[in-house]
C-alpha cells in the first residue's frame, strides 16, 4: 500500500498540539483534495488548532502572492483570515458542509472504548471513514517510579496505550484495509530509569504492531519510534525529568516538530514501516533486532541485524555495566543527601 498525502481521508489523534497538529498542518498545506480530521479530548484546543492551521496556511499563501504581486489573491486571502469557522463532525454535519471544507475536528476521549466506537459510528454515518489513521496521542511524565502518583500512572496507561489500542481495534473491525500508523518511542528499544510511566506502554505498542501485521494482511501497519523533538510535551518533560535520567540519556538536542514530521513522511513515502527519526534511534532498533529478529520493515534492516547481533554480544554488556555503575553512584549520592 503506497503512502501519499493527496486524495486521502486522514484521521489524526492527538491533533490539537505537537506532532499530531504538525501532521494536520502538512496535509492541509500540501494537498488539494485530502480531508483531515483531528481528534483530542478538548474541543477548545481543537478549535484553536484548526484556526492556527488555516491561518498558517493562509499566511504562507499570502506571502507567495505578495512575491508575485498578485493583489487580487492577497485580498481574497485577507477575507479568509477574518472568516475562519472550525467545522465539527457529528451526526448532524451536512454532506454539503463536508464537501466544501477539508479540515475538521471531533472531540473524543480516546481512552474510553465506547467513545471511540461512537466516533467511528459517526464517521460511518457521514461517509468519512478514513483511509489513513495516525495515532499521535500520548505523553510522558519522567519521574522515579516511587515518586509518581496513582493518577500519573493511570494517565500513562490511558494516554500511551489505551488510546492506540481502542483506535486500532476499531480500525481492525471497521476499516481493516486502511493504513494505520502508530507512534511508539525510542524508549521501546531501551527502557531506563525515569521512564516507568511511559516506556512500558511504548513497548506494548511495538508488540501490538507485530500482532496486527499478522492479523490484518490487507492493511499497512506502520510504527514510528521518534527521538526527541521540540513540542509542548518535551518542555514539560524536561521539568520533571530526574538528573540520572538526563545523565544516561546524554545531551538532548531536539529537532523541530516540523523536521520530525517531514522525516517520518519521507520514510513512509519510501515504503518503510518501522521508522526512527535519528541515528541513535536507528542504532537502538538494531540492538532490539540483533538476537530476536521480528518482521521489521526498516531502512537497511539486514545491516541492523548484523550490527545488533555484534553489539549485543560485545558492546551492550560493557555499556550496561557503565549504566549500572552510574545508577548505583546516583543512589549512593541520594542516600548521603538524605
Per domain, the residue ranges of the chain are 9-337
Strands 35-40 and 103-107, how do they pair? parallel
Cα 245 from Cα 200, distance rounded (Å): 16
pLDDT band (50, 70, 90) for residue 324: confident
Residue 26 has pLDDT above 90, yes or no: yes
User: What is the pLDDT averaged over residues 157-165?
Assistant: 97
Cα 236 from Cα 127, distance rounded (Å): 38
Query: String of b and e for 297-336 (b: at least 16 CB within 10 Å)?
Result: ebbebeebbebbbebbeeebeeeeeebeeeeeebeeeeee
Tens of pLDDT, residue by residue over 249-297, are: 876 678 999 999 999 999 999 999 999 999 888 888 888 775 555 666 7
pLDDT band (50, 70, 90) for residue 74: low
Residue 181 has pLDDT above 70, yes or no: yes
* 23, 28, 32, 36 alpha-carbon torsion, rounded to 10°: 70
Give, in degrees to the nearest 5, the angle at Cα 212 between 262 and 302: 60
Q: So what's the pLDDT on residue 260?
A: 95
| Residue 160 near residue 63 (C-beta atoms within 8 A) | no
The more confidently predicted of residues 134 and 291 is 134
Q: Which three cell numbers stand for residue 251?
A: 545531551
Q: Shortest CA distance to 276 belongs to which of 169, 157, 189, 161?
A: 189
User: What is the pLDDT averaged over residues 113-121?
Assistant: 97
Q: So what's the pLDDT on residue 1?
A: 85
The more confidently predicted of residues 38 and 85 is 38
| Residue 248 near residue 192 (C-beta atoms within 8 A) | yes
Q: So what's the pLDDT on residue 75?
A: 62
Residue 2 has pLDDT above 60, yes or no: yes
Question: Which pTM does this prediction carry?
Answer: 0.85
Q: So what's the pLDDT on residue 245?
A: 86
- Catalytic, 263? Answer no
Cα 275 from Cα 264, distance rounded (Å): 7
Catalytic residue, chosen from 140, 184, 196, 298, is 184
Catalytic residue, chosen from 26, 143, 202, 206, is 202
pLDDT band (50, 70, 90) for residue 9: very high
Residue 321 has pLDDT above 90, yes or no: no
Q: So what's the pLDDT on residue 71?
A: 62
User: What is the pLDDT averaged over residues 134-162?
Assistant: 95
Q: What is the CATH number of domain 9-337?
A: 3.40.50.720
What is the CB-side half-sphere exposure of residue 145 using CA atoms within 13 A? 6
Catalytic residue, chosen from 3, 27, 166, 198, is 198
- Catalytic, 202? Answer yes
Q: So what's the pLDDT on residue 218?
A: 87
| Burial zone of 142 (CB within 10 Å; 0-12 exposed, 13-18 middle, 19+ buried) | buried
| Residue 161 near residue 39 (C-beta atoms within 8 A) | no
Q: 175 vs 31, 121, 123, 128, 179, CA distance in Å? A: 23, 12, 11, 11, 9
Q: So what's the pLDDT on residue 76?
A: 65
Amino acid at each position: 500500500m503506497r503512502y501519499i498525502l493527496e486524495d486521502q481521508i486522514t484521521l489524526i489523534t492527538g491533533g490539537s498540539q505537537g506532532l499530531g497538529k504538525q501532521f494536520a498542518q502538512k496535509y492541509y498545506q500540501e494537498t488539494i483534495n485530502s480531508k483531515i480530521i483531528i481528534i483530542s479530548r478538548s474541543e477548545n484546543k481543537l478549535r484553536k488548532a484548526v484556526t492556527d492551521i488555516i491561518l498558517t496556511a493562509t499566511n504562507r499563501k499570502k506571502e507567495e502572492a505578495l512575491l508575485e504581486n498578485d493583489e487580487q489573491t492577497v485580498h481574497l486571502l485577507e477575507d479568509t483570515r477574518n472568516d475562519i469557522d472550525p467545522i465539527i463532525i457529528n451526526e448532524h454535519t451536512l454532506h454539503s458542509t463536508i464537501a466544501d471544507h477539508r479540515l475538521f475536528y471531533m472531540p473524543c476521549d480516546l481512552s474510553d472504548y465506547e467513545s471511540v466506537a461512537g466516533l467511528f459510528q459517526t464517521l460511518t454515518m457521514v461517509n468519512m471513514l478514513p483511509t489513513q489513521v495516525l495515532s499521535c496521542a500520548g505523553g510522558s511524565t519522567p519521574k522515579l517510579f516511587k515518586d509518581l502518583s496513582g493518577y500519573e500512572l493511570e494517565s500513562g496507561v490511558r494516554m500511551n496505550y489505551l488510546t492506540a489500542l481502542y483506535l486500532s481495534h476499531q480500525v481492525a473491525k471497521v476499516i481493516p484495509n486502511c493504513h494505520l500508523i502508530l507512534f511508539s518511542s525510542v524508549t521501546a528499544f531501551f527502557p531506563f530509569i525515569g521512564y516507568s510511566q511511559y516506556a512500558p506502554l511504548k513497548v506494548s505498542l511495538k508488540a501490538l504492531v507485530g500482532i496486527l501485521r499478522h492479523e490484518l494482511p490487507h492493511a499497512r501497519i506502520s510504527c514510528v519510534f521518534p527521538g526527541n523533538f521540540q513540542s509542548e510535551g518535551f518542555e514539560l518533560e524536561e521539568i520533571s525529568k530526574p538528573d540520572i535520567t538526563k545523565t544516561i540519556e546524554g545531551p538532548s538536542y531536539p529537532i523541530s516538530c516540523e523536521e520530525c514530521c517531514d522525516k517520518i513522511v519521507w520514510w513512509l513515502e519510501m515504503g518503510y514501516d518501522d521508522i526512527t527519526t535519528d541515528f541513535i534511534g536507528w542504532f537502538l532498533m538494531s540492538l532490539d533486532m540483533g538476537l530476536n529478529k521480528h518482521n521489521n520493515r526498516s531502512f537497511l534492516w539486514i545491516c541492523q541485524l548484523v550490527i545488533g547481533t555484534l553489539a549485543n554480544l560485545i558492546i551492550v554488556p560493557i555499556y550496561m555495566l557503565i549504566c549500572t555503575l552510574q545508577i548505583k553512584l546516583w543512589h549512593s549520592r541520594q542516600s548521603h543527601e538524605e
